[in-house]
Chain A
Amino acid sequence: MTARLAVFIIAIMALVTLPQWMHGVYYVNVASQILFYAVFALGLNVLAGYAGLVSLGHAGLFGISAYATGYMLNLGYSHSVAIATALSIGMVSMAIYAVLSLRATGIGFIMITLALGEIVWGLAYRWISITGGDNGINLHGRPEPFGIALTSPNAFYYAALIVFLIALAVMTVFVRSPLGAALMGTRDQPRRMTALGYHVWLIRFFACMLSGLLTSIAGILFVYYNQFISPQALDLTASAEVLLMVISGGAGTLLGPIVGSTLVVVVKSVVSGYIERWNFLLGAIFVAIVILMPEGLVPGTVRLWRAAFARRRPGPVVEATEKAS
């Protein structure tokens, strides 16, 4: 058994047994938040990390699915219809986002997604007949898949955990696949990829759709968790926050967005109970990460670990002799 597999099994065991060893409903709820924000961050990571396309409007997509779920439920539709509709609307919205924003890369892409996110936020704030405006939409009840009510914190945690593990498995398969390799190729050398016969725009569009799917799923989990959605959930700060989750953990890695979302949610939900100026602390942590580990916490830790390991390991005798001579 490799060390990596052992760590993975221990992590899965810890997550599965979390409600047993984590005392207090509050902390189980925090764990649920970490899980659905991790799904959101994994979705953004498809673009920001693997495609090199930084989106500052993803909270808009997240909110569209959340609002669609709430709106459909309030119209009296069942949970399955509401979820299916929310996913469909989320994907159509992502397709529109993609068609408009993939006209550019770099700063241009950031600015277009930022503008689209702000348009969605404006609609949520002003289209009161649909969104409830500043008051938002309240939900009543959670789904009952296979007859299991998700009303208790533990049940919701396990539902979020299953969704999270499926999202992680999908991403693991995707990044190792030819399409995943092609996407990373378009990030690093788009000109070369075109000359090699790849349809760069279509590959990026596919990445947008995968990103949109994960983002929509996270939005649905969010609205079921909070039983409420308001324009605050899809403003620019929310988009920046999830981008910081990706960047602080390590963009273009599988674990990075998960570590980043854990960091942000823990500081926001747990540390804020002890430190009034928690925003200051979060900012200081981000500055420290950017200075000490600009590649993010996960790749940065791997780099430091390897450096420390290499220093401890004695070099071959021949090499030492050659250096001495």
Chain B
Amino acid sequence: MSALVVTGLSKSFGGLHVTRGVNLNIAPGERRLIIGPNGAGKTTLFNLITGELTPDGGTIELSGVDVTHSPSRHRAHLGMARTYQIITLFGQDTIIHNVRLALLGLSPKRWNPLIDLRRQAALTEQGHEALARVGLGHIADRPLAQTSYGERRRVEIAMALAQQPKVLLLDEPFAGLSIDERRDVHKCLMAIPRDVTIVMIEHNMDVALEFAERITLLHFGEVIVEGNRAEVVDDPRTREVYLGH
């Protein structure tokens, strides 16, 4: 059974067709890279898959379950997690609180108005474990405002991993990072176990090509090339619309 199947997905904003009949079939454990020029509809595709946007047509299946009409929160409970192109964290809190919120989102305790969140040892322990996976365990109690951009990227990844996803969608995880920070994030991503399927949008081809097993090229909302690394890189259409000659 595929981890994620997208069939004939389409979306328009007025007269602008941003997603045109997109089909994806992503195997469990696969590392899939979505590439395309700016405005190709990559982030819109992610927003459709995660339920932040409602598609005009087509279907989305997550581990065999049709989630096309499910709200985002249900998809999170079914094993879908994501990071954002623009870092979306809780800036007034500590790193560990951010991760605790991620853990709490899938716990029935999130509705409890009576217990003290900071005294939930199990949640805090799981939060530290998630942060240790991205190399931030030693600064868990640091306010987010006192962290670097690269560390915040890793907090985003830790939050997504804390949700124990089956399918993880990463929207440009290397955007805006220095060489050292890129190396740190790359290390985190390579360490994610194979039971997590990863779909990644990325423009930085050096790190992205190393990571990806299959690549999908989007152009004007359509899939124009799909295949393994060599097939996509060698395809003249990829060179024409994305890589350049």
Q: Which residues of A contact B (CB under 8 A)?
A: 173-174, 176-182, 184-185, 188-189, 191-200, 206, 210
> Is B236's CB within 8 Å of the partner chain A?
no
Per-residue contact bits, chain B 50-75, to A (CB 8 Å; 1 contact, 0 not): 10100000000000000000011100
A180 touches B90 (CB 8 A): no
Per-residue contact bits, chain B 91-131, to A (CB 8 Å; 1 contact, 0 not): 11000010011101111011111111110100000000000
Q: A173-B114, A195-B72 are in contact. List 16 more A-B contacts (CB 8 A).
A: A177-B117, A178-B109, A178-B113, A178-B117, A179-B110, A179-B113, A182-B110, A192-B84, A192-B89, A194-B71, A195-B76, A196-B102, A196-B105, A197-B106, A197-B163, A198-B73
> Is B82's CB within 8 Å of the partner chain A?
yes
A196 touches B111 (CB 8 A): no
CA distance A189 to B88 in the complex (A): 7
B113 touches A189 (CB 8 A): no
Nearest Cβ on chain B to A24's Cβ, whole angstroms: 40
Which of B88, B110, B118 has a CB less than 8 Å from the CB of A192?
B88
Which of A174, A176, A178, A188 has a CB less than 8 Å from the CB of B110?
A178
Q: Which residues of A contact B105 (CB under 8 A)?
A: 193, 196-198
Q: Which residues of B contact A192 (CB under 8 A)?
A: 84, 88-90
B113 touches A177 (CB 8 A): yes
Which of B52, B91, B104 has a CB less than 8 Å from the CB of A188?
B91
B117 touches A195 (CB 8 A): no
Chain A interface SS verdict (over half): helix
A189 touches B90 (CB 8 A): yes
CA distance A188 to B90 in the complex (A): 7
Size bracket of the B interface = 35 or more
User: A189-B88, A191-B52 are contacts. A196–B101 as well, Cβ < 8 Å?
Assistant: yes
Which of A179, A184, A189, A195 has a CB less than 8 Å from the CB of B112?
A179
A199 touches B118 (CB 8 A): no
> Is B142's CB within 8 Å of the partner chain A?
no
A182 touches B50 (CB 8 A): no
Which of A173, A194, A206 has a CB less than 8 Å from the CB of B72?
A194
B90 touches A185 (CB 8 A): yes
A182 touches B73 (CB 8 A): no
> Is B198's CB within 8 Å of the partner chain A?
no
B159 touches A178 (CB 8 A): no
Give me 29 A-to-B residue pairs in the complex whose CB atoms sit less than 8 angstroms apart, sorted by A's number: A173-B113, A174-B113, A176-B117, A177-B112, A177-B114, A177-B116, A178-B110, A178-B113, A178-B117, A178-B120, A180-B117, A182-B101, A182-B104, A182-B110, A184-B90, A185-B90, A189-B90, A192-B88, A193-B105, A194-B52, A194-B73, A195-B72, A195-B82, A196-B73, A197-B73, A197-B106, A197-B110, A198-B105, A200-B73
Q: Which residues of B contact A189 (CB under 8 A)?
A: 88-90
Q: Which residues of B contact A (CB under 8 A)?
A: 50, 52, 71-73, 76-77, 81-82, 84, 88-92, 97, 100-102, 104-107, 109-118, 120, 159, 163
CA distance A180 to B97 in the complex (A): 13
A196 touches B113 (CB 8 A): no
User: Quick one: which of B52, B112, B117 has the most chain A CB within 10 A?
Assistant: B117
CA distance A20 to B107 in the complex (A): 50
Nearest Cβ on chain A to B155's Cβ, whole angstroms: 12
A185 touches B117 (CB 8 A): no
Q: Which residues of B contact A178 (CB under 8 A)?
A: 104, 107, 109-113, 115, 117, 120
Nearest Cβ on chain A to B106's Cβ, whole angstroms: 5
Nearest Cβ on chain A to B154's Cβ, whole angstroms: 16
A179 touches B77 (CB 8 A): no
Q: Which residues of B contact A191 (CB under 8 A)?
A: 52, 88
Nearest Cβ on chain B to A296's Cβ, whole angstroms: 15
Q: Which residues of B contact A196 (CB under 8 A)?
A: 73, 76, 101-102, 105-106, 159, 163
Which of A184, A197, A210 has a CB less than 8 Å from the CB of B77?
A197
CA distance A179 to B117 in the complex (A): 9
Closest to A181 in B: B117
Q: Which residues of B contact A174 (CB under 8 A)?
A: 113
Q: Which residues of B contact A197 (CB under 8 A)?
A: 73, 76-77, 105-106, 110, 163
Closest to A210 in B: B113
Q: Which residues of A contact B120 (CB under 8 A)?
A: 178
B90 touches A195 (CB 8 A): no
Closest to B92 in A: A188
User: A176-B117, A178-B115 are contacts. A195–B91 as well, Cβ < 8 Å?
Assistant: no
Q: Which residues of B contact A188 (CB under 8 A)?
A: 90-92
User: A176-B118, A177-B117 are contacts. A195–B52 as well, Cβ < 8 Å?
Assistant: yes
Nearest Cβ on chain A to B127's Cβ, whole angstroms: 13
